[in-house]
Every structure is written in structure tokens, then in C-alpha cells.
Structure 1
């Protein structure tokens, strides 16, 4: 079953394009995680928080990644991390425009620019 994982934590920056440049390698690493369908990066500079919303193919991959990413954030000396996993209600989500993401089938998708980029439907 598809599982969504939500991370949120206090973050001192950098933000925007500076974060994009600083985290490019991390993003490439995250893109190779087993079971990851996609990640949305979140920034709230005014509140000093960052995070991400991840969609995984199953709860086991989401949990394995949660543990790995919590260790990574701790090594970066970031504290106050919250991480919550949720089962995805696919039927309702499709009704609210999440259809393309929830129709993910690794047998029907292929990389556009190699493994560093999001796949497209075949």
C-alpha cells in the first residue's frame, strides 16, 4: 500500500536557490531510495522550518527511510524533527487531483534523464 511520509524540522537555512545548490547531491541520493515514488521539498523561511513529503510504494520502505533520514538529520545537528507516516487513501486522493502520482507503476515508467530525475510514463 502506498505510504506518505511527512518530515518537518527547525532549519537555519540556506533557502531557495542556495538550498538547491547545497542539497543537489542529497537530492540525487534520495532519488535512489528503494520504493520512493517522489519527494516534495518544503521550505518555510519565515518560520525557520523545512521538511519534505515523500510517497513510498509501501510502509516498509517508508519506515526504513524514516530511520535513515532521522540519523542523517541528527548527524547534521538538526533537532526537533517530526516524522509521520500515513496510509494513502488512493480513491479519495485521485478525486483531488493526485491521480498521476497514485497511478505509479514501476513497470510502466522509465527515467527521462537517467536515475537522477523523475520518471515519465511509457
Structure 2
């Protein structure tokens, strides 16, 4: 499993307005190869958007980061910060990390 952390400057809607505006995008993300789950992140005061993603493998995470970065840049985002991490499963299990849900 690989965890992908993405953030970027975001001038669009946040909170409930973001939730309503981006339903179709969220649904399309579920179809990405290797995706297990995504947690959407937003920081209103710093005007940041992003997400934390869990992928089945490194290649899926890299492919998604490349595609998502291109999509965001087409939407006017100048810089996308993305980092792929390994998941330390023994420590994550101690802290009830969501990677141990059925089907992962």
C-alpha cells in the first residue's frame, strides 16, 4: 500500500459549497485504478485544497498524481505538491489507521 498526500493553493469553494460542487469529481476518483480511499482536505484560512489517498501500489499512486497534477494545472493551479509514502502497517494498526478495513 502507498499513501499519497497532495495539497495546492485553492481559490474555489470550500465546506458545504465544495461538497455540492465537486460530487461528480469525487465519484470519478472512485474509478481510478488502484485507489482504496481518499480523504478530502481543505484549509479555509490558508486557502489550500488537497487530499490523502491510499493506493494499492506505487504505480497507481504515481499515475494518479501525474494525471491529477495535469488536471489541476489545466484548472489554473500553479503548483501541486504531492508526496508518496510507504505505510508503516504495525504502527498504523496500533493507532487504528483506516488501512485495515475489510477489502483493503
| TM-score for the superposition, normalised by structure 1 | 0.81
Does the 8 A contact of 2:73 with 2:79 survive in 1?
A: no
Higher relative contact order (CA 8 A, sep 6+): 2
Structure 2: gaps spanning 5 or more residues:
none
| TM-score for the superposition, normalised by structure 2 | 0.94
Larger Rg over CA atoms:
1
- Please tell me whether residue 47 in structure 1 is matched to residue 51 in structure 2: no
The structure with the largest helix share of the pair is 2
Does the 8 A contact of 2:42 with 2:49 survive in 1?
A: yes
Does the 8 A contact of 1:7 with 1:83 survive in 2?
A: yes
Rounded Cα–Cα distance in structure 2 between residues aligned with 1:63 and 1:48: 25
Which among 86, 99, 102 is matched to residue 101 of structure 1?
99
Match of 1:6 in 2: 5
- Matches of residues 64-79 of structure 1 in structure 2 within 5 Å? 64-79=63-78
